[in-house]
Structures are given as C-alpha cells and as structure tokens.
Amino acid sequence: MNRQEIEHSIDEVTRAIENLNRVFDKRASDLKQAGDADGLKQWTKACQAMRDSGNIYITWAQHYARLSDPTAPSEEEDDFLNEGTVWDKSPTGT
C-alpha cells in the first residue's frame, strides 16, 4: 500500500466519523427540541466522547502514516497534537 492509498483510507475514515458526528448532532438537536434536558445532557457527553475518540483515532492514523513515509514532515513541523482541528466540538451548535 502506498502513501496515497493510506491517505485516501484515512480520508474515508475521517468522512465516516464526521458523518457519525452529524447524526449524533441531529439526535442532540431532537432532544433539545423535545425539551429533554436530562437526555440532552447525557447525549451531549456521548457526542463529546465520540468527537474526542474520533480525533484521537485520526491523529494516530496520520502519525503512523507519516512514520511509514521517510519524506513526510516531522511531528513538530505539522503540529501533531493540534487538538480540535478535525471537527467542531459542539454537538448542539452552542
């Protein structure tokens, strides 16, 4: 598998996680509209956990992809731990 195939696979996983986050956001919005404060609170925590997990997963995938490519920039050069850059952190848009 070459670098381009690896990057393509990481992009596919990123899009899938982004889609999951959108679906979770929709559920949070539905709970908010229904006035379910307890459900929304619990669901918001779940949304944040999924975002955090997704960010970790993608960050490590990118890290290991770089390790397999000696021409890739080092971790310092591309802000390896630049948290919060994959997607929005707010499940309800607030």
pLDDT (tens digit per residue) in 11-39? 999 999 999 999 999 999 999 999 999 99
The pLDDT tens digits for 52-77 are: 999 999 999 999 888 887 776 665 44
Terminus-to-terminus CA distance in the chain, angstroms? 41
**pTM of full prediction above 0.85:** no
Q: How far is CA 33 from the centre of its chain?
A: 25
